Structures are given as C-alpha cells and as structure tokens.
Structure 1
C-alpha cells in the first residue's frame, strides 16, 4: 500500500495549552496520566490516502477501519482555529452522501495538503 498521505493526529500542535497544562500537572502525578492517555489516543488514529482510497483506522487493541473510495467523496471540509493555523494542524471532515460526515479527524498535520491530494486524485 503506497500512501501519499499517512498521518496520526498531532498532540502538542493540536492543543498547545492543554499540553502545557498537562506538563504543569506532572508534579501532582495526574499530568503523566493525561499525557499517556492523550498520546495513546493520538497514536491509535491513522488517516491514510492510498491509491484511490481514503482509510481511517482507530483503536489499539480492537480496530475500527473505514475505507472510502475517492470517487464517492462529495465534500472535504477543513476547519482550523487561530492556534491550529499557527501550528499547521486542523480538523478534516469527509462527506459522501447526506449531511453527516463519513470520516472526521481532528489534529491532522497539514490538512490542506490532504484536501488537495484528494481533489487531484479525483481529477485524474
């Protein structure tokens, strides 16, 4: 599977204030737990554009895998807050049919690159 885009959500870049708060809570002991759970949550999600499919995998022990054919994608929505734009991350929502997003992942590095890759694959 030759991926042109394969990313896990970012920790620090997605929520820098939450990251700093967790660092400050390390002496209390809860900061380590927050960072560990957050890290595992980020590493258990993978969004990958491969060939003519967009795949999102979630989970560590049990897996949930959603595959979408690029030809069925109708809309790609990228949302970036002010801090997201500064750090180059964002939330991406992929729509096929209907009003509910088929795939939604927050904290992805360079979400506009993924949107452009999807549009380029659809045009080819």
Structure 2
C-alpha cells in the first residue's frame, strides 16, 4: 500500500459542538454539586433536602455526562477514513469491523455537504459515488472536507491515472 495522503477520524467537537460543550458544562456542574452539595442552594429555597441527596444528584449528573461523552468519543474513534494514492479505505466499527475500499479510478462523483456550523468548524459530510445513483460511501463529520474532495478527484502524484 502506498503512503497515506489523508488519514482522519470524524471529530466529536465538529460533529456535535453545542451538545459537547453542554455536556462538558454538565460534567463540571456535577462535580461542583457533588463537592459542595447543599451549600450551593439558598437556605430558604429547599431547607428539607439532605446534603447527601444533593451530592448524589451531582454525582449522577457527572456520571451521565461522562458516559455520554465517552460513548460519542468511542463512536468517532471507531470510524476512520484513509486516502492513499490508489484507493479510499473507510473502516467502521469497534468490535465488529466493516471495511469499504473504493478504487480511485472508479470514483465518479464526490459530494461535500456542509451546514453553516460545519463550515465554521471546517467539517463536512462526504458522499462518494461510483457507478449507481446511491452513494457507495457516506461519512459524517470529517475534518477538512474540501481537501478530501480534492485528493479523491485529483490524479495520483507522478502516477499514471
């Protein structure tokens, strides 16, 4: 196999920027509530709540936010796109792997879709078409999608293609 021209995983922050930041805030808030407990609440607000219950709620919020971030992170790390001089290789899955290899010569169209937020974050969704009307490969949230399109559509450097 030739040297890699592109090798990337989808980006968690680029795919879900607001949700990721919200979960990080919830994670920090959960830690704060777990450490300080009922000291955060005004005394007149809820005087009957036990400090242990407030701390347990903080721990639960921290655990839920951490678990969701971990799930999303593992999901992005289990996908990978590699572009070599001759082919695109898409690997998907953590325990069960699915490989999609597409020869560069058979690529007919590369479609890049970007929302406004994706354009700001320099991410995008890629669709690669070969012979039919349906895309052979669809990848969400890859960094630098314009570069991917250029690499796929450009002839191999120094090669006969």
Q: TM-score surpassing 0.5?
A: yes
8 Å CA contact retained: 1:52, 1:121: no
2:89: which partner in 1? 55
* Number of the residue aligned with 1:40: 74
Q: Which runs of 5+ in 1 are unaligned?
A: none
Q: Which runs of 4+ in 1 moved over 4 A?
A: none
Could you tell me how far apart the structure 2 residues matched to 1:50 and 1:78 are? 19
TM-score by length of 1: 0.93
Greater helix proportion = 2
1: CA distance between counterparts of 2:95 and 2:16? 25
Structure that is richer in strand per residue = 1
> Which of the two has higher C-alpha Rg?
2
In the TM superposition, what is the alpha-carbon distance from 1:24 to its structure 2 partner? 2.9
Residue 8 of structure 2: aligned partner: 7
**Displacement of 1:97 after TM fit?**
1.6
Residue among 99, 106, 111 paired with 2:145: 111
- In structure 2, how many angstroms separate the alpha carbons of the residues matched to 1:14 and 1:85? 11
Residue 88 (structure 1) aligned with residue 119 (structure 2): no
Q: CA deviation at 1:14?
A: 2.0
Match of 2:23 in 1: 22
TM-score, normalised via structure 2 length:
0.73
**What is the aligned partner in structure 1 of residue 134 from structure 2?**
100
User: How far did residue 82 of structure 1 move?
Assistant: 0.5
Aligned length: 124
In 2, the alpha carbon distance for the partners of 1:78 and 1:14 equals: 15
Deviations 1:15-56 (A, max 9, x none): 211111222332212111110000000000000101210010
Instruction: Give 1:77 deviation, angstroms.
Output: 0.4
Matches within 5 A, 1:69-80: 69-80=103-114
